[in-house]
Chain A
Amino acid sequence: MRKILLLCLSLLAWPAQAALTVLACEPEWAALVGELAGDRAAAASATTAFQDPHHIEARPSLIARARRADLLVCTGAELESGWLPLLLRESANPRIQPGRPGHFMAADFVTLLDKPQRLSRAEGDVHAQGNPHIQTDPRNIAQVAGALAQRLAQLDPANAAFYETRRADFARRWQTAMQGWEARAARLKGVRVVSQHSGFPYLYQWLGLVEVAVLEPKPGIEPSAGYLAEVAARLKAKPAGMIVRAAYQSGRPSEWLAGRSGLPAVALPYTVGGSDQAGDLFGLFDDTLGRLLEAAK
């Protein structure tokens, strides 16, 4: 009898354990929610660092998660346009629909680069609003953190002060870390790189790297052997220092070109979880710089 009652009371108390259920589209936003909300939010990511966030399926497990979410944190700028609209519809969850406070798109809070000149599917996977891979510049993370903390407070006003404290703490630590990264990365400035996918304009802009070629003939279109040979020929005239790809991408095109040109091929973690060292947002940039510096030796 007593046990039943205690069980019931603990059931009632259940929602107090994590105030918010958060579904992030990519691991970096789940990690950022963790930094800002600690144990007040239970955050899960819809994709892993080894999946291409353009292309996943609205699987039953994701629909079930979206159904229960109070807050959806995604990159936006059409990165998830292949699966998120369907996931939102199937979730039958009004709280996270576009226009509601539970619908947070990080790209709305940063300035996007590479807005395409021509909108056509003949150009491959182009995004009308600009390049969506914003997480590779820590200054973008800082900007999104501010907006996200406010959103958390709006959705869970009871913990507003808590979120504000954590935001201020994160901002301070992040600022210090960024100064460290920028000092370490000074010698990367002006280094010429080849990218497998145009997924790094924000990283390059931050560090002053120069992209001289992209291995995909059009965004999202896999390079053919012929196209790779063409790039290799071009690199003879305009040499580069390294070939960069994200952890989720197939290593074949970069490795092929690396074998042919003798350039080092670097797999960057790209997001939290993309390497053993990239266990959180700080580790992500530590490891990214470590790998770039190693290749630029």
Chain B
Amino acid sequence: MFKPSLFACALLASAGTAQANDDLAAIRQEIAEMKAGYEARIAALEARLKQAEPHPAATETRHAAGPDRANAAGFNPEVSLILSGEYARRDGRPERAITGFMPAGDSHGGERGFNLRHTELVVGADVDPQFRGYAAFDLADAALEEAWFESMALGEGFSLKGGRFFSGLGYLNERHPHAWDFADTPLMYQALFGERFRQDGLQLKWLAPTETYLALGLEAGSGGNLAGADGPVGAWSGFAKIGGDIDASQSWRAGLAYLSARPKARAGHWEDANGDEVTSVFTGDSRAWIADFVWKWAPQGRAKERNLTLQAEYFQRDEKGALACGGAGTLCAAEPSDRHGSRQSGWYAQGVYQFMPRWRTGLRYERLDSGTLDFGANNAVLDRPDYNPDKYSLMLDYSPSEFSRIRLQFARDRSMQGIGENQITLQYVMSLGAHGAHLF
């Protein structure tokens, strides 16, 4: 704490030089006086400390070893089971690609009928005084969702996370599916990441010692579920988050993140100029900016009765590289390959209002801009749709307690050109066991 400011002062002081000479003697005098003053104070304090020492901390230590330990939730490790499932009514389609966007991750969200999406088993505990560990298993997909350790004792506001984790970029990315306000992720997340961006790598985060919340983070890793990410570092990202309270009833957080990935042979489906389906393989650079903002209101901070949350996120992504397409009997039969560049963007905005205890309703609107798509010499071969996908979602949910929720969602989905689809989802989310709180 002292050293950097002392150093800065030394720098500032040395920058002044010549004209300072006449001041120097006076300043030296002042410093000497202050030093003497401090020394006297320290001596006095030491004397008082000696006096105080006979008071032992006996009564306190007796208690301190006592029953405080049942903290987080009384279990070690904390185990929780998330029961989640839905009945989804939507049209049957072999593929649900967002028009104009090449699939960037494992795609989700096409399930119909009954399914157990996001049923998870979560285990977390302090490993030792240095580390905390956490793992989440998706029981419906039999997949390891997350498995990471986090340092707890680095100090100075630093924390280090390593393993498989959801990136801290954006607002929704880090949030657990059972804490989502709608049954699915917005189209922009589906376009960018399939569902959310998951890294196998490291995250270093620093929290500034300031009145206003300010966190900076840097992540590097394999690129996780960004399809085909490649290299020693398949993807890295940096983010900054800032936030605070406006008054007792309102608080906010804003964030800005940058993601750079290097997809190699990222496969996808596209259409040729005749409308026939072809395969595409992209290798190059993919860079995205993501901005997010959330504002929450609850009268006097009592969210239990009524509260309102407004949130929005925006992204812009540039991709540059080489694209090859293929497909027997299509315009891509000769497997032509050429440079490919695109600049695309999108956003969503949503409001969720709890109008009485246990009941919430929410509205989300989202829109993507397929922007510019350039296939070089293949511009005549591949379809270049000029279409802006959009979607409305309306939801109503009921939470008998903080551990259970039942949701009905209606959506009008126009993410595929020429198709306007009405979707109805009935969903339940319940959590058993040592279930902790969620991020703001």
Contacts and interface: CB of A to CB of B under 8 A. Distances in A.
Interface in B29-74: 30-31, 34, 45, 48-49, 51-53, 55, 57, 59-60, 63-64, 66-74
Contact of A60 (B72, B402, B440): B440
Contact of A5 (B9, B205, B213): B9
Contacts of B302: 50-52, 248
Contacts of B274: none
A156 to B, nearest CB: 10
Given A2-B27, A5-B9, A11-B5, A64 B49 contact: no
Contacts of B20: 1
A97 to B, nearest CB: 6
A2 B20 CA distance: 8
Size bracket, chain A contacts: 35 or more
Contacts of B53: 160
Contacts of A82: 402, 436-437
B304 interface: yes
A161 B47 CA distance: 10
Interface stretch (B82-90, B150-158, B187-195, B374-382): B150-158
Contacts of A63: 207, 213, 440
Contacts of A245: none
A158 B154 CA distance: 26
B173 to A, nearest CB: 16
Given A8-B5, A89-B132, A153-B52, A94 B436 contact: no
B244 A158 contact: no
A84 B68 CA distance: 13
A60 B49 contact: no
Given A48-B300, A129-B67, A150-B59, A64 B440 contact: no
**Contact count band on B:** 35 or more
> By DSSP majority rule, is chain A's interface helix, strand, loop, or mixed?
helix
B211 A64 contact: yes
A245 to B, nearest CB: 14
A104 B380 CA distance: 70
Nearest to B21: A1
Given A51-B301, A52-B304, A108-B66, A4 B440 contact: no
A97 B72 contact: no
B70 A128 contact: yes
Given A48-B301, A56-B301, A9 B60 contact: no
Nearest to A9: B34
Interface of B: 1-2, 5-6, 8-9, 12-13, 16, 19-20, 23, 26-27, 30-31, 34, 45, 48-49, 51-53, 55, 57, 59-60, 63-64, 66-74, 129, 132, 150, 152-155, 157-159, 205-214, 241-245, 248, 251-253, 296, 300-305, 357-358, 401-403, 436-440
Interface of A: 1-2, 4-6, 8-9, 11-12, 15, 47-48, 50-52, 55-61, 63-64, 67-68, 76, 78, 81-86, 89-95, 97-99, 103, 105, 108-109, 121, 128-129, 146-147, 150-151, 153-154, 157-162, 164, 221-222, 248, 250
